[in-house]
Structure 1
Amino acid sequence: MPAPQPAGTTPLVLFGGTFDPVHRAHISAARAVSRVLGDAPVHLLPNAVPPHRPQPLADGEQRLAMLSLACAPYPALTADDWELRQSGPSYSLNTLRHFRDRIGQRPLVFLIGADSFASLHQWHHWRDYTGLCHLAVVPRPDCPLARDEVQAAFPEASADALRQQPAGLRLMLQRPFLDVSATAIRDALARKGQCPALDDAVIAHIHRHHLYNVAHSPSEPDSDNEAP
């Protein structure tokens, strides 16, 4: 594991998404990027109005609460409500500009899945990202490669290289896989009231607040324990 860096050079990692609900793969990915970058802090930011996907089923307050519970055991992880407090679509570009202004020339890393990297050429002003952040790309099974122009815009580099400059490089992680479907999780909750991809505290919160049409109490026996 890399040695922790001085506060001024340790990257800040941003991880956005709907987190509807947050699951174990989200937390595993955030922890993995934190470790490889020298115990870097990771801010997980729930979208208020995701611009490229259906709107979340749980409201922002509930998604932030679940995220806070999932992050609580890990000092490097923070549930951040910045996007929830903004109006209009939650464009990542606006988030990156805000945090870049806030941290100056400190390295800023944007954590995304390989599927998002493959479609980056379709994102809002994606070329502006090269001057704002590095990318940390977490693998997904059977994901297509990004276009050559996208790969060229963010040259692949080591974790050490990312710590040496503010933005413009790409770290490709080999694991963990972001291979959990939030849709399948919500379906499992509606059918069985349980899902092994969720932290116990998150499941308890879902039942306490009657989210995702849960079928029964988590204390009831569950004869079907397969993952979604």
Structure 2
Amino acid sequence: MKIGIYGGSFNPIHNGHIYMAKFIVDHLNLDKLLIIPVGIPSHRKNILADANMRLKMCEIAFRNEKKIEVSDIEVKSKDIAFTYDTLLKIIEMYPNNEYYEIIGEDSGAYFHRWKNYKEILKLAKVVILQREGYSTLLKDANILQVKNPFLNFSSTGVREAILKEESIESMVPKEIAEFIKTNKLYKR
């Protein structure tokens, strides 16, 4: 089985994340794509919305996708989330498969600084999605650079629009916009 692993803060999940998840399932012909919202991030100060709220938004976004599953593996962990550790847990849960770690080119630009990045490359193919303004310098047989459309969406843009009390309906699915409003997320 070909299993993709797409982790991120998803703070909040937006149309770009959703499009790329569906795109990568088709592009790589994956049997399963795991969407993994981070619990406690390893690379930045934790100023994220509540992890369970971000998890719920991901579940709403992908509830009708047969090949896409949202995992709480990092949200329920009390430890800082490192990709390597999560990958080992995924391999334990789904042994003897092909694994594809999906990252954006913004992360690919400094992938060589990730915890145990060489081990990640031995255990999985690292799939790098193009992101405007970034480039990946690291070359390896297990790094796959994907030509994908550039989408002009960002979680930062969604949060900024909310603070300015602007509509976010073009950036996130309607159900996500309603969830954010109902739960008063991203307000100061």
TM-score using structure 1 length: 0.77
Q: Which structure has the higher relative contact order (CA within 8 Å, separation 6+)?
A: 2
| 1:1-228 map, 5 Å | 10-146=1-137, 150-151=138-139, 154-155=140-141, 169-177=142-150, 179-195=152-168, 196-213=170-187
Q: Work out whether residues 19 and 63 of structure 1, in 8 Å CA contact, stay in contact via their aligned partners in 2.
A: yes
- Distance in 1 separating the partners of 2:91 and 2:62: 23
Q: Which is richer in strand? A: 2
- Distance in 2 separating the partners of 1:178 and 1:114: 13
Q: Work out whether residues 29 and 178 of structure 1, in 8 Å CA contact, stay in contact via their aligned partners in 2.
A: no
Moved over 6 A (4+): none
Match of 1:19, as an amino acid? Answer: F
Distance 1:179 1:51, change over 3 A: farther
What secondary structure sits across from 1:83 in the alignment?
A: coil
Distance 1:44 1:64, change over 3 A: same
Q: Work out whether residues 111 and 135 of structure 1, in 8 Å CA contact, stay in contact via their aligned partners in 2.
A: yes
Quote the offset at 1:45 in angstroms. 0.6
Match of 1:204, as an amino acid? Answer: E
Query: Cα RMSD over matched residues?
Result: 1.6
Quote the offset at 1:16 in angstroms. 0.6
Quote the offset at 1:92 in angstroms. 0.6
Identical-residue share of aligned pairs (%): 24
Give deviations 1:136-167, integer Å, cap 9, x for gaps.
Answer: 11110121332xxx31xx32xxxxxxxxxxxx
Q: Work out whether residues 41 and 76 of structure 1, in 8 Å CA contact, stay in contact via their aligned partners in 2.
A: yes
Q: Work out whether residues 16 and 154 of structure 2, in 8 Å CA contact, stay in contact via their aligned partners in 1.
A: no
How many equivalent residue pairs? 187
Give deviations 1:177-213, integer Å, cap 9, x for gaps.
Answer: 3542222210101112421211111000011111111
- Distance in 1 separating the partners of 2:134 and 2:155: 17
- Distance in 1 separating the partners of 2:59 and 2:22: 14
What secondary structure sits across from 2:96 in the alignment?
A: coil
TM-score using structure 2 length: 0.92
What secondary structure sits across from 1:187 in the alignment?
A: helix
Give deviations 1:58-82, integer Å, cap 9, x for gaps.
Answer: 1011101111111113222111101
Larger CA Rg, structure 1 vs 2: 1
